[in-house]
Structure formats: C-alpha cells, structure tokens
C-alpha cells in the first residue's frame, strides 16, 4: 500500500478551472463514497477549497487511484479530464506526508500563514471520517498534521504580521492608540476592504461604529452588518468629529475630506488624535491632511509598505517553520515505516509459533509420562529457540524499513517463510 496525494492548486491551475472543480459538501460525500467503492483506493480524503482540490489516499496503485478519482470528479463537474490531467501533481509516501503537513501549517497557501486552511483541512477530515473512507494511515497522518500546524503557530510568528490591507490598517491603528477598546470608528463608503477593516477593528474592541454613504439604503445595510449606526451623508463632518478612526473607500473622483475641514474639526476637538485609513483609489483624503497636528493619515500605498515589510517577516518565519516541518516529517515517516512492517512481523511470529506449538505437542505425545517440570522445560526451550531464530530477521526488517527499503525485505521474508500459507 502506498500513501499518496494528488491534486492541483493556485500555482498549478488557473482560478477558472479551480472554481469549476470546487465541490460542495453533499456532492463531496457522494464522490468520496463512489471513489472508495471502486476498490482502487483503500482510504480516501478530498480537500476542496477555492485554491486547491486534492485527493489524499492509500492505494496499491496510486496512479490508477488518482486517475479514477479525478475522472469521477471531472464527470461530476462536466469537465474534460484532459484539461485537468496535465495540471495535476502527485506526491508519494514521505513527500505526501510533507505536503500534508505544509498544507495544514499554511506553508503552501497563496497567503503564507493564513489561518483558514487548517479549518478547511479539519472539515475535510471530519467529512471523510463520516463517510468511513478514513483508515488508520490517513487518521494518523492528519492527526499529526494538525499537531504540526499547532506547533508551527506556537513556535514561530508566521501568522503574527498583517499581510492584508484590512489587517494592516488595524495594525497601524494599534500603533497610534494605546488600545482600540472604546474607539469610535466611522466607515465612509461601501468598499469591501473598508468593511473588512471595520470588522477587524470591531473584533479588537472598537466601538461605536458609524457608517456614512451617499446611498442611504446602503449605509443602513452596512450599519446593520457591523452592528453600528447609519449617518446621513450631509452629516459627514459631524460624524468625523465624533470618530477616532475614519476609514474611507468611496470611489469618488475627488477628495471628499479636505485639509480645511479637518483643521476646523481639530480646532474644536483639541489634542485627541484622529486617524484616517484612506483605502480609496483615487484618494478620499487630501494628502495635506497629514500635516495637521494629532492627525494621522495612511493611504493604500502606506498600507502596501506595511504589508511588504510584514511579508518579509513571514518569509523569515516560514524558513523556521519549514525546518520544524522537516523534522516532524522525518519522525512521522519512521513511525509509518514501522507501522508498515508490523503486519509482516505479526504474521512471521504467528507462523513460527504455530510450527513451534505443533512440534512441542508431537514431542510430548511421544513421552506421555513426562512430568509437569519436563513439559514446562520443553515449552521454555522451544520459545527461547523461536525468539533467538526470529531476532535476526525481525531486526533486519526494522532496520531496512527505517532505511527506506522495507518493502523489498518484507517480500523476501514472506517468500522465505511462506507467510500466508499454512505451515
């Protein structure tokens, strides 16, 4: 049996194809059971996200199992298998273990260190278990993958540094204010990045939340989504004066926040700082606003600089994480090889034990008057001889397994001792 993973991801396939291959949960259940029922794969798990579609499995012939799984997936989605076949990658045994660990630890993600992938892998594992397509190998693999992902999070800072515009805005806000708890936020406009930044600020304790938009219905809709209050567009100046953090993303052709207006607000406001996050292109806030005392304004280019710096930090942490993963892969593959040879060792012991017990019975039949002491001595002698004779082949099996040559030695032992045949 061979452990394998086959699939495609954001590096090997265009987004259009990934979208076509993505499978919803109920169809995934049907597909898993269908693939498993063919008998070509003994264990199976399918991971389907916006950035990857992968089949993890245990099979006697991985190439055949891969072909069957993706042919059925393509048929279900109405896609020509030829479009997919050339884009697929396949990893076997230790390389499959490494891939699974890296995926769970977000080292193979489009956004390095993003946390969502671990939850998606856990969901795929739970689904496969509910379909009864997970056996001992995949159970052990993914249980360990989750432990490795946790270790990467705890022992590196790969997820600490903000690498999205919305998170970068929150990181900057934290630097300006001692804490975000109780800081009033005004969201100006209906841009998606602005909404995300507002949500992240709310998660950090910012409150209350105000929303201003030229379209009143849209302001009300977004205010409800953020558990905030809609503000009429005509009262924008008053709303800015009441806020600590202003996020703008309107798409207006000219700045809607001028230096003159902000200067007037600050005159009445005093020394309380005012922080603008201008995510709009063209910019919503005049560049000269940043020259005012106690006013801080960051535009999309400023946020990009923060993101670039943080990406470099994540890359440094990723190198540490890769080393950690490599050590865990080594430990796991050694255990996996040991597990692989256990059935052979058990069969060998059972075979030789059957021979030993039979020969002892024959010997004792020839000496019916043997005392209990004699019988015990014969039993002990035969067991000691069996253990000594088995020591060398079992030790060689374990040694060759750890060296990566276990299968050839298992085949040899099966042949030499006739395992699987009656003694």
**What are the structure tokens assigned to 299, written together?**
């535009």
Q: Computed over its alpha carbons, how large is the radius of gyration of the chain?
A: 32
The residue from 50, 74, 131, 297 that is catalytic is: 50
Sheet with 43-48: list strands edge to edge: 43-48, 52-59, 2-9, 89-92
H or E segment to which residue 394 belongs: helix 372-402
Q: For residues 285 and 262, what is the distance between their CA atoms, to the nearest angstrom?
A: 10
DSSP notation for 251-281: --SS-SB-HHHHHHHHHHHTT--EEEEE--S
Q: What distances in angstroms separate CA 390 from CA 137, 415, 417, one per listed residue?
A: 27, 15, 11
- Sort 123 into a burial class: Cβ within 10 Å, 0-12 / 13-18 / 19+: middle
Scanning the structure block, which residue is given the tokens 């050590």?
327
Cβ distance 138 to 43 under 8 Å? yes
Q: For residues 123 and 134, what is the distance between their CA atoms, to the nearest angstrom?
A: 13
Strand 52-59 to 43-48 pairing: antiparallel
Q: What distances in angstroms separate CA 136 from CA 44, 339, 347, one per listed residue?
A: 11, 10, 19
* Strand ranges inside 284-351, DSSP E: 295-299
Q: Is position 297 annotated as part of the catalytic site?
A: no
DSSP label at 324? H
Catalytic site positions: 50
């Amino acid at each position: 049996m061979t452990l394998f993973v086959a699939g495609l991801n954001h590096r090997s396939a265009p987004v259009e194809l990934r979208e076509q291959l993505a499978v919803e949960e109920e169809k995934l259940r049907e597909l898993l059971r269908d693939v498993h029922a063919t008998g070509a794969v003994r264990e199976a798990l399918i991971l389907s996200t916006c950035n990857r579609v992968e089949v993890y499995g245990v099979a006697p012939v991985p190439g055949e199992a891969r072909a069957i799984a993706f042919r059925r997936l393509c048929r279900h989605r109405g896609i020509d298998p030829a479009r997919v076949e050339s884009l697929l990658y396949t990893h076997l045994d230790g390389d499959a273990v490494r891939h699974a660990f890296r995926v769970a630890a977000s080292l193979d993600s489009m956004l390095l260190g993003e946390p969502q992938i671990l939850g998606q892998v856990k969901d795929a594992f739970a689904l496969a278990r509910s379909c009864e397509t997970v056996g001992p190998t995949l159970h052990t693999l993914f249980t360990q993958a989750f432990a490795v992902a946790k270790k990467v999070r705890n022992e590196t800072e790969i997820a600490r540094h903000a690498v999205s515009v919305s998170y970068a805005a929150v990181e900057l806000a934290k630097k300006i204010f001692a804490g975000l708890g109780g800081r009033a936020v005004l969201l100006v406009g209906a841009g998606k990045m602005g909404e995300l930044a507002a949500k992240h600020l709310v998660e950090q304790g910012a409150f209350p939340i105000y929303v201003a938009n030229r379209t009143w219905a849209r302001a009300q809709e977004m205010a409800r989504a953020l558990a905030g209050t809609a503000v009429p567009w005509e009262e924008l100046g008053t709303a800015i004066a009441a806020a600590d953090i202003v996020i703008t993303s309107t798409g207006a052709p000219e700045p809607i926040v001028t230096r003159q207006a902000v200067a007037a607000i600050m005159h009445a406001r005093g020394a309380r700082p005012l922080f603008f996050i201008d995510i709009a292109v063209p910019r919503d806030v005049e560049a000269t606003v940043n020259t005012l005392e106690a006013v801080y304004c960051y535009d999309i280019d400023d946020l990009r600089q923060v993101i670039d710096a943080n990406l470099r930090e994540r890359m440094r942490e990723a190198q540490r994480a890769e080393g950690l993963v490599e050590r865990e892969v080594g430990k796991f593959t050694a255990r996996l090889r040991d597990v692989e040879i256990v059935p052979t060792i058990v069969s060998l012991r059972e075979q030789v034990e059957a021979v030993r017990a039979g020969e002892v019975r024959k010997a004792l039949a020839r000496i019916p008057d043997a005392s209990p002491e004699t019988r015990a001595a014969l039993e002990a002698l035969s067991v000691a001889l069996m253990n000594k004779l088995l020591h060398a082949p079992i030790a060689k099996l374990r040694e060759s397994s750890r060296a990566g040559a276990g299968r050839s030695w298992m085949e040899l032992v099966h042949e030499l001792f006739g395992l699987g045949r009656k003694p």
